[in-house]
Amino acid sequence: MGLNLEDKKAVVTEVSGEVDHAQTIALAEYRGIKVGDLTVLRRKAREAGVYLHVLKNTLARRAVEGTPFAELSSHLVGPLIYGISKDPVAAAKVLHDFAKTNDRLTIKAGAHAGKVLDKAGVEALASIPGREELLARLLGVMQSPLSGFAGAVAALAKQRETAAA
């Protein structure tokens, strides 16, 4: 059953709201994917904070009109699933990681920072560590000198104790 005009307007409004706050959109063709697999993909997307939606391409074109993602319109062909995220790499990472384990999902294109990305561009974006991983690495780098300093002070104190004895 198709959507009536009011339902279509509601979908465009919802997607436009997501696009307004997005940094990245990733597109993948999902032809032949099983419902159970699609459910797993949606759960992973939800956990990563990615808005994942199967849309009619005409509605998606209307949603991206007048946004930095408008140039993506020429790639909106075929049965597509749209990953939209505020995190610069989350949408690309979720779709790319899932495509590695499911050959029925094929990355088609994407857009980030006002630039349209081809399949290779989306995969390159997906290979960048996410925000949480980068913060964890930064914390590790910041803690490293402190733990080294603490070890040196402890060794010096122990050396003094043995020298005094």
In sequence order, the 6+-apart residues with CB closer than 8 A to the CB of 89 are 24, 125, 126, 128, 129, 130, 131
Q: What was the pLDDT predicted at 159?
A: 77
3-state secondary structure (DSSP) of residue 67: coil
Which residue would you say has higher pLDDT here, 118 or 134? 118
Q: What was the pLDDT predicted at 165?
A: 67
Q: Which of 15-19, 44-48, 89-93, 138-142 has the lowest mean pLDDT?
A: 138-142
Predicted structure pTM score: 0.78
Q: What was the pLDDT predicted at 161?
A: 77
| pLDDT above 70: residue 45 | yes
Dihedral (Cα; 91, 93, 98, 103), 10-degree rounding: 100
Q: What was the pLDDT predicted at 155?
A: 77
DSSP, residue by residue, 78-113: SSEEEEEESSTTHHHHHHHHHHHH-TT-EEEEEEET
| pLDDT above 80: residue 47 | yes
The CA distance from 154 to 55, in Å, is 61
The CA distance from 45 to 42, in Å, is 5
Q: What was the pLDDT predicted at 14?
A: 94
Mean pLDDT of 12-37: 93
Q: Is the CATH number of domain 5-128 3.40.50.300?
A: no
| pLDDT above 90 coverage of the chain, percent | 68
Q: What was the pLDDT predicted at 1?
A: 55
The CA distance from 142 to 20, in Å, is 35
| pLDDT above 60: residue 101 | yes
| pLDDT above 70 coverage of the chain, percent | 99
